[in-house]
Amino acid sequence: MIGKSFRGCISYCLEDKKLLQPELSMQKRAEVLYYNQCFGNIKELIEQFTDVRNLNQKQSKPVLHITLSMSPGEKLEKEILIDVVEQCAKTMGFERNQYLAIQHLDTAHQHLHIVVNRIGFDGRSVSDSNSYKKIAGFCRTMEHKYDLQQVLNPRRFLSKEQRQLPRLDSRKQVLKKAIESSLSRSANYAAFADQMKSLGYAVEKGRGIAFIDEKKVRVKGSEVGYALGVIEKKLAEQKQNFSTAIPRDNFMKLSQKLSVKNNFSLATDLQIKNTEILNVILKPETQTFSSPTLLKKKRKKSALHNIYKRSEKQLCIANITARIY
């Protein structure tokens, strides 16, 4: 990569790794393997690179940053790493310029960084023409020289036959899994971008889509099978799934509402039933027959009536008898 700031690049390569949790920060992760035409600490190196850079004000991007990584499980001795750095300088044409090589110890695989001042002491700038093709060829040469795992060049530097060969890129495999995981948890693009950010990826969206990891490596979505159209289609399907499925939190809230509603309905039903029972109990009783008291009075009345009738009959008989006599 080429850039503008020596301060940012040198600080990144030499400072301890800063994490959100201070207790987890990586200490002594950087080891300087080689100085060329420079020396000192971070501040001194930045000043030296800047002084030489001022010899050519026309060059807006004086920084060249190269990262070389071993395959997982492979590790080279320090002397061999230094030889690799010197061979790289000759291949890329900056062997007479200021540069330093730093080995990082914060990952499982061995890797090193080379920070180069593209401006030489004569004020001339090292060309970056065909730099990707040059560095790819250099890596293949080192693999043969030190019996390392053979890796294919980038596709654009391969023949048509070689482009058909299967290849495994661990970086892209990790990115692919991150995209799949983020899509499964997102119902729209904003949520998807936030998920990718939480996994350490910056997202660039234009006509297509690309992802940049923490190492500033940019990978197009189409290279891992997730072009922008594919992602938008997945998000549309996911949005439909989200709208038809009741999330667990909403389901719990709905269950509580239904429970409260059912309890209210049950209480209402009980209240109605209790009211009906009370109405039945408190309703005046209508009877088609006389009460015992009334019957007794009726019997008394009937008895008096009978006595009166008998007396009246006896009186009539007495009157008749009197007349006869």
Question: What per-residue confidence (pLDDT) applies to 72?
Answer: 81
Domain boundary among the residues 133, 163, 193 is at 163
> Does residue 17 sit in the same domain as residue 53?
yes
pLDDT (mean) for 10-36: 71
The sign of the torsion formed by the CA atoms of 50, 55, 61, 67 equals: negative
Q: Residue 21 sits in a domain of what CATH number?
A: 3.30.930
Question: 236 is written with which tokens?
Answer: 């549309």
Neighbours of 162 (CB within 10 A): 12
> Does residue 7 sit in the same domain as residue 136?
yes
User: Which neighbouring-strand residues pair with 218?
Assistant: 212
Report the alpha-carbon distance of residue 304 to residue 81 in Å, rounded.
141
Question: What per-residue confidence (pLDDT) applies to 191?
Answer: 92
> Does residue 106 sit in the same domain as residue 232?
no
Residue 308 CA to chain centroid, in angstroms? Answer: 110
Show the CA angle centred on residue 44, arms to residues 40 and 47, nearest 5°.
145
Report the alpha-carbon distance of residue 48 to residue 199 in Å, rounded.
37
> Does residue 217 sit in the same domain as residue 80?
no
> Does residue 137 sit in the same domain as residue 174?
no
> Does residue 101 sit in the same domain as residue 121?
yes
Higher-pLDDT residue of 217 and 69 is 69
Q: Which domain holds residue 230?
A: 170-244
On average, the pLDDT of the chain sits at 79
Count of domains forming the chain = 4
Question: What per-residue confidence (pLDDT) applies to 127?
Answer: 92
> Does residue 15 sit in the same domain as residue 153?
yes
> Does residue 205 sit in the same domain as residue 303?
no
> Does residue 95 sit in the same domain as residue 138?
yes
Contact 142, 89 (CB under 8 A): no
Strand, helix or coil for residue 50: helix
Would you say the pTM of this structure is higher than 0.95? no
> Does residue 46 sit in the same domain as residue 89?
yes
Question: What per-residue confidence (pLDDT) applies to 283?
Answer: 57
Residue 253 has pLDDT above 50, yes or no: yes
Percent of the chain clearing pLDDT 90 (strictly above): 44
> Does residue 19 sit in the same domain as residue 158?
yes
> Does residue 26 sit in the same domain as residue 159?
yes
Q: Which residues contact 172 (CB under 8 A, 6 or more apart)?
A: 219, 223, 224
Question: 29 is written with which tokens?
Answer: 């992760």
Instruction: Give the phi and the psi of residue 220 in degrees, each rounded to 5.
Output: -70, 145
Report the alpha-carbon distance of residue 46 to residue 58 in Å, rounded.
19
Q: What is the pLDDT of residues 102-149, one digit of tens each?
A: 999 877 789 999 999 999 999 999 998 988 889 989 999 999 999 988
